[in-house]
């Protein structure tokens, strides 16, 4: 799911990530995705597996997948 927020030039996308089970997992995923150029905010929630990403423009899903893989988890797709 991709939605445009109220801030011009800002896109919020929710991804589903499998394997997160704790705060450390959330931090690892958030840190890796946060390194993608254009990302301004990341919120990962282990309980739901949802990762909400705010960026200046829509992100390349393969870049997000690579970041999630680097953190040791699997991107299941968009929520």
- HEC string for 21-76: CCHHHHHHHHHHHHCCCCEEEEEEECCCCEEEEEECCCCCHHHHHHHHHHHCCEEE
* 8 vs 25: which has the higher pLDDT: 25
pLDDT, tens digit (0-9, with 9 covering 90-100), for 21-65? 999 999 999 999 999 999 999 999 999 999 999 999 999 999 999
Domain spans of the chain? 2-73
Structure tokens at 54: 């705010």
At residue 58, the pLDDT reads: 92
Taking the domain 2-73, which CATH number applies? Answer: 3.30.70.100
Nearest by Cα to 18 from 43, 50, 41, 42 = 50
């Amino acid at each position: 799911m991709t939605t445009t927020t109220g801030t011009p030039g800002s896109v919020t996308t929710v991804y589903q990530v499998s394997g997160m089970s704790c705060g450390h997992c959330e931090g690892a995923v958030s840190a890796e995705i946060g390194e993608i150029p254009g990302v301004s905010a990341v919120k990962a929630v282990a309980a739901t597996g949802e990762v909400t990403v705010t960026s200046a423009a829509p992100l390349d899903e393969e870049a997000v997948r690579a970041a999630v893989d680097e953190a040791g988890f699997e991107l299941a797709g968009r929520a």
